[in-house]
Structure 1
Amino acid sequence: MDMVTLYNGKKMPVIGFEICNNSDEEKAVQSIVKAIEVGFRHLDSAAGFQNEKIMSQGLKKSGFPREELFLTSNLMVDGHDYSNVRAKVERLLEILGTDYLDLYLIHWPLDEGTGEDWDKENLETWRVMEELYEEGKLKAIGVSNFSINHLENIVEHAKIKPMVNRLRIHPGVTQNDVREYCKKYDIIVQACSPLNPLNVLRKENRIREMLEKYNKSLAQVLLRFGIDLDVLPLTKSAHAYRIEENYDIFDFKLDEEDYNYLFHWQHVDFTESDNQNGQPPQSV
């Protein structure tokens, strides 16, 4: 598994597997086992989907050593409170049967829509995460869906700057300004929803030619686009063949012409999220 190094020296896999929010619990558990089997080492759970118990079951069933995995979860927007943050992390560690998380993220920034003191509240939340990081319960801390103003608030006033910022990134939504800011401060950018435009793109002749050229699926090309963009894509599936396919992206690289086509591709249905109002969309 290819890795990147966070600025604190922590190694992070370049691709992650999101735990499925599947009504068939056994199928979701088996997808974790399959993901580990094919090579995924970064497993991502989400408090909003309440799938931490499924992750725990998948980890047990796989029998894979904990120290060789990179486990991530996040704090939902209703959890921005000192005692709440600590309680949620400690409860999560108990559910997963581990002493630490490799990465913990603030899922969505508080902003003007949540009150005049949103900046102070974000910092208060971050300070708890700094404490948990210093205690070793969190090996890395970061944010998700943070724009430049949210990042500046932490970078300029906190003791520890974010190590990761997770953003919705795919053709049509490349978040160039935020990515450049993160690069300036050595903040790794992770891409959620990298396959969002798949159903629209697959109709284009230019894309069909690209798939023939690389002998890859569109999902593989979109995941490769993320890596070539220097972001770390997250993917998920409950189907074994798709899990295998989504991992099989390390034997090719997009040439400059194809990369530029995807980078500059635009569509009216795909625009950057408005994360300035404090309320995350349900799909994120």
Structure 2
Amino acid sequence: MSSIPTLPLLDGRRIPQFGLGVWQTPAEETARVVGEAFKLGYRHIDTAAIYQNEEGVGRAIAESGLARDELFITTKLWNADQGHDSTLKALDRSLSKLQLDYVDLYLIHWPCPEDGKFVDTWKAMIQAQAEGKVRSIGVSNFRVADIEHLLAETGVMPVVNQIELHPLLQQSALRDYHHQHGILTESWSPLAQGGDLLKDPGLQAIGQAHGKSAAQVILRWHVQLGLVVFPKSVTPARIKENAEIFDFELSAEEMAQIGKLDAGTRLGPDPSTLRI
């Protein structure tokens, strides 16, 4: 596996641009899957409290023999735990399950704007960062208005915003805002949950030109856009294949071709309406 590049965060730290996501990975399989990824050279793992598999991630970390500073571990606060004190308690639960003293990145999973708790939540995360329980803090599924509200109330900008992003939903305006303010964009569901997108003749033709799969082409597209990406798989061969995207480069024409696939197709919930 080729060396994975890292990208700078607003707070001066760095994040591996590529990793393993464990959304929908069954709890009983998580330790094995993450352990396989570690053996293949993965060092960035993205989990969340609501995934109910933090214990498996923690077990894999403990059994890996890897030094803590070699790893980059992200987890997320679930909506029902928003609020100042409940955020701090939820973080402690996650740390216990992960068997860690700190996480590298802690995210607010959804803004749930109508519930009005994400500013208090953010203040708690700033406190947790000051206490050393979290190295970096960010958000997930936030809109521009949500980010600007956080900044106005606290003066602290999130270092990342993890959003649904794939060739069918490219989120150009939000990515432009992130770029202007130094926020890194992380892509969830980077392959649009597979399915029909991987059968796209244009993507398959690009893949054939490079000796790669359509999935590898899409992941390479994310990387060349400067996005942080962590595809999910439970299959060792697929976990290995997903990481083999640093030995080729898409041309400007190929990037533009993929850009034309944008259809504004959202597969997950709408951040403006999701509630606790």
Where on the TM-score scale, by shorter chain, does this alignment land: which range? over 0.9
Work out which of the residue numbers 160, 165, 172 in structure 1 matches 2:168: 172
Q: Aligned partners of 1:180 and 1:257: how far apart in 2?
A: 21
Q: Aligned partners of 1:264 and 1:100: how far apart in 2?
A: 41
Q: Aligned partners of 1:69 and 1:29: how far apart in 2?
A: 15
1:146 aligned partner: 142
Shift of 1:141: 0.2
Q: Aligned partners of 2:86 and 2:220: how far apart in 1?
A: 38
| Amino acid across the alignment from 1:17 | L
1:11 aligned partner: 14
Does structure 2 retain, via aligned residues, the 8 Å contact 1:170–1:197?
no
Does structure 1 retain, via aligned residues, the 8 Å contact 2:8–2:14?
yes
Over 3 Å counting, the alpha-carbon distance change for 1:220 and 1:23 in structure 2 is: same
Q: How many residues align?
A: 273
Residues 71-119 of structure 1: per-residue CA shift (max 9 Å, x gap): 110011111111110011112212222211100000000213x3xxx2x
Work out which of the residue numbers 130, 145, 157 in structure 2 matches 1:134: 130
Residues 136-158 of structure 1: per-residue CA shift (max 9 Å, x gap): 11100000000111111012221
Structure 1: runs of 5 or more not aligned: none
Residue 265 of structure 1 aligns to a residue in which SS?
coil
Instruction: Please say if 1:275 is aligned against 2:271.
Output: yes
Over 3 Å counting, the alpha-carbon distance change for 1:98 and 1:269 in structure 2 is: closer
Structure 2: runs of 5 or more not aligned: none
Q: Aligned partners of 2:46 and 2:55: how far apart in 1?
A: 12
1:66 aligned partner: 68
Please report the RMSD computed on the Cα atoms of aligned residues, expressed in angstroms.
Answer: 1.8
Instruction: Please say if 1:229 is aligned against 2:225.
Output: yes
Q: Aligned partners of 1:92 and 1:47: how far apart in 2?
A: 7
Residue 274 of structure 2 aligns to a residue in which SS?
coil
| Amino acid across the alignment from 2:64 | S
Percent identity over paired residues: 31
1:33 aligned partner: 35
Q: Aligned partners of 1:2 and 1:230: how far apart in 2?
A: 11
Does structure 2 retain, via aligned residues, the 8 Å contact 1:41–1:69?
yes
- Compute the TM-score of the two structures, normalised by the length of structure 2: 0.93
Higher deviation after alignment, 177-186 or 136-145: 177-186
Over 3 Å counting, the alpha-carbon distance change for 1:240 and 1:101 in structure 2 is: same
Over 3 Å counting, the alpha-carbon distance change for 1:271 and 1:100 in structure 2 is: closer
Work out which of the residue numbers 155, 158, 171 in structure 2 matches 1:162: 158
Does structure 2 retain, via aligned residues, the 8 Å contact 1:44–1:73?
yes
Shift of 1:184: 1.3
Q: Aligned partners of 1:35 and 1:161: how far apart in 2?
A: 31
